Amino acid sequence: MEWGLFHSQPGIDIIDFRKDYNTLNARGESLLQSKLFKEPARKRRCLILADGFFEPHYPNDNFKAKPVPKYCYLENRKLFCFAGIYNEFDDEYWNVSLVTTEANDFFGKIHNKKKRMPLVLDPTFEAEWLREDLSDKGILDLVKHGFIKEEFKAHSVANIYKREINTNTPEFLEPVDDGAGEQGKLF
């Protein structure tokens, strides 16, 4: 499986496509209006299991500064499911995009530039998201109202994103001081 949805069509080079389009995320509000996302949203919805994720935060709303990564998670790093959509080619190759939505108050303070958040489905809506007969209205209702009811927590983590370093280890999730003074302590 690979992150970032794309269509397999004659004449489309995947490397060129990825240079031109960022499809890691799919805006939930416009899923059904997008040529790329409409069919997967209607026919190939999935759940993406996680125990946390990163969001960019600009301390003191200074959008010219380098963002500080915030690690977002539920109490006790409880597992949750993102809403996703996918494509499948030749029964061997799959690609997936994470569905996003407008940020709630908590995530609006964290992802403070674009004010977006991933659609973390409330467990009561996970089976609904996967229903093959889910209508367009049902899809959009879940995008708008399906976010988990539990409260998230977040803290700053080291800003180390290098391809040659394995950051998939517990020490990279340790809280760090983001230098934002009192504002940084809110998260």
> CATH number of the domain that 128 lies in?
3.90.1680.10
Q: What is the pTM of this model?
A: 0.86
Q: Is residue 182 part of a domain?
A: no
Largest CA distance in the chain: 54
Q: Is residue 91 part of a domain?
A: yes
pLDDT band at 92 (very low <50, low <70, confident <90, very high): confident
* CA 51 and chain centroid, separation: 12
- Work out how many domains the chain is built from and give that number: 1
**Over the Cα atoms of the chain, what is R_g?**
17
Q: Is residue 186 part of a domain?
A: no
Which tokens go with 3?
Answer: 């992150």
Tens of pLDDT, residue by residue over 34-84, are 999 999 999 999 999 999 999 999 999 999 999 999 999 999 999 999 999
Q: Is residue 128 part of a domain?
A: yes
Pairing of strands 2-3, 45-50: unpaired
Q: Is residue 185 part of a domain?
A: no
11 is in which domain, residue-wise? 2-177
| Contacting residues for 154 by C-beta, under 8 A, at least 6 apart | 55, 70, 71, 72, 73, 106, 110, 187
Tens of pLDDT, residue by residue over 142-168, are 999 999 999 999 999 988 765 567 777
Q: Is residue 76 part of a domain?
A: yes
Q: Is residue 184 part of a domain?
A: no
Tens of pLDDT, residue by residue over 3-45, are 777 666 656 666 666 666 667 899 999 999 999 999 999 999 9
* CA dist 177 → 70, 86, 118, 152, 180 (Å): 11, 37, 25, 19, 8
Q: What is the DSSP string of 94-141?
A: EEEEEEEEE--HHHHHHSTTT-EEE-EE-GGGHHHHH-TT--HHHHHH
